[in-house]
Amino acid sequence: AGGLDAALFAAWAEEIAAAVRADRDRLTALDSAIGDADHGANLDRGFTAVAEALAGGRPDTPGALLSLVGNTLIRKVGGASGPLYGMAFREAGKALGDAPEVSLADLDAALAAGLAGIRRLGSAAEGDKTMVDALAPALRALTQAVQEGLAPAEAVGAAAEAALAGAQATIPMQARKGRASYLGPRSLGHEDPGAASTALIVRALHAAVSR
């Protein structure tokens, strides 16, 4: 019990696919400033494949659904972001186990497991100008909202705002991980593409829980 079922998680994946498609060029422009101009295309390829997989048959549990997302991203997305996001969704899926419905607190714990997976694989700390700079504050906001007993739409709304602020806070940072780190101080003054896509992913979760 807890109210968040596989249909909600499928809606999240579909919202991400639509958001990435709509913002594909913006993500690629961010990556062309401090990377290799493929982040929008990478994620669009990955989440289009996720949407196709779901259209072919939806897993029955939140955990299986997120595992499918993670496995698809690992298979379809090259570059740094595919394995990192793939790991995050797989770890989140594993944390949800085989329950048919999960609670907001379960979702919070699962996303924390996803962040831990990203940190383990990429060894980025906050302040290194990566997706971690959007996801970590989003999770702090979500955990606090869960403790305060907020409803899912408000709680995930707070997380989405924190992710967006976290992504914008990467602008004055110097990159210490990934391709952007090769630029040294020339990475200053640009929003990190992976932090920007994380903000989209959390906003998509807000859209799904607000449906």
Q: Which stretches of the chain bind ligand ADP, using CB under 6 A?
A: 31, 35-36, 38-39, 42, 79-81, 84, 118, 122, 124, 130-132, 177-179, 192-195
Q: Is residue 44 at the binding interface for Mg ion, with CB under 5 A as the rule?
A: no
3-class secondary-structure state, position 5? strand
Q: Toward ligand ADP, which CB reaches closer, 31 or 108?
A: 31
Nearer to ligand ADP, 31 or 106 (CB): 31
Contact between 31 and Mg ion by CB under 5 A: the answer reads: yes
Length of the chain: 211
Query: Residue 39 CB, nearest distance to ligand ADP (Å)?
Result: 4
DSSP 177-195: SSGGGGGGGGGTTS--HHH
Dihedral sign for Cα 36, 37, 41, 47, please: positive
Smallest separation, CB 31 to Mg ion (Å): 4
Using CB positions, name the residue nearest to ligand ADP: 194
79 binds Mg ion (CB under 5 A): yes
And the tokens for 11? 């809606």
Nearer to ligand ADP, 51 or 132 (CB): 132
Scan for tokens 């383990």, then name that residue. Answer: 120
Point out which residues pair with 101 in neighbouring strands: 5
Gap between the terminal Cα atoms of the chain: 19
Q: Are 58 and 65 in contact (CB under 8 A)?
A: yes
Contact window for Mg ion (CB under 5 A) among 18-26, 43-51, 75-83, 134-142: 75-83
Can residue 133 be called a binding residue for Mg ion (CB under 5 A)? no
